Structure 1
């Protein structure tokens, strides 16, 4: 399992998130964005966050450090918002802490032009994990300390909301992907990444999920069986045939940059200012 810490102070809600995550401080003196098990989207979102972010990290992408945070609901007793009080009360126990990146900027495709190799690797990865939430409206990418960081994978692995219909060969729709127009090296990304998604790697990342977030899953006999299902699904997807990858005609066109030249484009994945 991930390193476990204890929440010491509820700082503020992040109301732009649909599940009402919050900023909390912990006993390791760190500050974290916390996603709560008691949120309406449920514990599967936390499972997806761990599996996908930790898989991304091992494939070479920058992602904020994750920890499991123990929450005493009394931390929210003085919070005037009843919705937040109810959320914290429903989230007693283990929740997901995501390292807070102070000063990070949201990725804007109108301000930073991604490198083709980086864009292709991200699109390949999102196609692998069925991530439908890296769009023009919500890129879920941050620019921080000279790099582009991948965040918010809770909407990925959406097949686990209905396991009987899970299909490892389901095609990925890249028409709304924020990096789709720049992902012109998908074949190279596929050759680079597919072979690295091994059974051992998938077993490693799924082992980081707390048992209590997997126990009780309908149709499975305990946490180990659920972990195995994630491993088998993603392994089958990576091993091929990988006809789930979108083709050139299945991505959106690049955004128009109106009003003249925009200086200082960020070469995503290289950390170079142009």
Structure 2
């Protein structure tokens, strides 16, 4: 039987500094376990949908054997940030009271640069390409790799732009069966020569009960915060059904990636 997954919950105690690389203003923050985290706010950008995509993407990547910083739920007290001098940040903190998401801060990590860094190898590159085609992640390009090198290993970050079907719940069944055309822009596509091998392995790992276990991690308050006319549990079921269908029909997006790679090389 698949063991239930769990994430730790921490309380944010100190706002350290904003990370202004993106439009959603994530921040480095300290929590009551004395660790530093990259804090993703529910009040920013796409709101809880970005956090849901981050949570699902990160935990699925971990199940598939990839390096991902630990994800934790980060609780923000209503009083937090009242003394913050920057009005934009103060508004963001006020809008993010409650449960947010954070990634363990990898001190000293550097952004993966395909022009300068050692290639990750065909097996890992193929795995990452498969993952991003599966999740419909539009944000792993040469311009923005969303990967870090830390202790000579490649770590994946920032899956918030994945699962774009949930920005419009209409015909999600059809969206689950679509190839992912934007895979042609993937930073590692040219190195992904083992897609068939990882496809076989990953399908066996992502059994329906495993996917349901990942989806069960989504806090009900994030699902309830969405305006669509559906209950939190109905939306949770859609996430699970979408991902299960995507795995069962993985040949569609794998072929798209293989065709895109052939035209590239």
Normalised TM-score (structure 1): 0.88
* 2:179 matches 1:171: yes
Pairing partner for 1:61 from 51, 59, 66? 66
Pairing partner for 1:234 from 239, 243, 248? 243
Tell me if the contact between 1:32 and 1:98 (Cα under 8 Å) persists in the aligned partners. Answer: yes
Residues 114-137 of structure 1 show CA distances to partners (whole Å, capped at 9, x for unaligned) of 201111111001111111100010
* 2:243 matches 1:250: no
Pair 1:228–1:14, CA change in 2 (3 A): same
Between the aligned partners of 1:235 and 1:195, the Cα distance in structure 2 is 12
Equivalent residue number for residue 187 of structure 1:
196
Larger mean CA deviation between 11-20 and 245-254 belongs to 245-254
Deviation at 1:79, TM superposition (A): 2.3
Q: Secondary structure at the match of 2:125?
A: helix
Between the aligned partners of 1:3 and 1:40, the Cα distance in structure 2 is 24
Equivalent residue number for residue 25 of structure 1:
30
Between the aligned partners of 2:75 and 2:164, the Cα distance in structure 1 is 26
Residues 75-94 of structure 1 show CA distances to partners (whole Å, capped at 9, x for unaligned) of 32232211001000111111
| Structure 1 runs not aligned, ≥5 long | 255-274
Q: Secondary structure at the match of 2:217?
A: coil
* 2:169 matches 1:159: no
Pairing partner for 2:90 from 85, 88, 110? 85
Equivalent residue number for residue 74 of structure 1:
79
Superposed counterparts of 1:88-103, under 5 Å: 88-103=93-108
How many residue pairs were aligned? 254
Deviation at 1:72, TM superposition (A): 2.1
| Structure 2 runs not aligned, ≥5 long | 1-5
Larger mean CA deviation between 51-60 and 241-250 belongs to 241-250
Tell me if the contact between 1:2 and 1:209 (Cα under 8 Å) persists in the aligned partners. Answer: no
Could you say which structure has the higher helix fraction?
2
Between the aligned partners of 2:98 and 2:224, the Cα distance in structure 1 is 15
Tell me if the contact between 1:169 and 1:242 (Cα under 8 Å) persists in the aligned partners. Answer: no
Equivalent residue number for residue 50 of structure 2:
45
Deviation at 1:241, TM superposition (A): 5.5
Between the aligned partners of 2:22 and 2:73, the Cα distance in structure 1 is 19
Tell me if the contact between 1:10 and 1:25 (Cα under 8 Å) persists in the aligned partners. Answer: yes
Tell me if the contact between 1:128 and 1:237 (Cα under 8 Å) persists in the aligned partners. Answer: yes
Pair 1:214–1:26, CA change in 2 (3 A): same
Tell me if the contact between 1:105 and 1:143 (Cα under 8 Å) persists in the aligned partners. Answer: yes
Residues 114-167 of structure 1 show CA distances to partners (whole Å, capped at 9, x for unaligned) of 201111111001111111100010001111123111100000001001011321
Deviation at 1:175, TM superposition (A): 1.4
Cα RMSD after superposing both structures: 1.6
Tell me if the contact between 1:217 and 1:226 (Cα under 8 Å) persists in the aligned partners. Answer: no
Equivalent residue number for residue 3 of structure 2:
none
Normalised TM-score (structure 2): 0.91
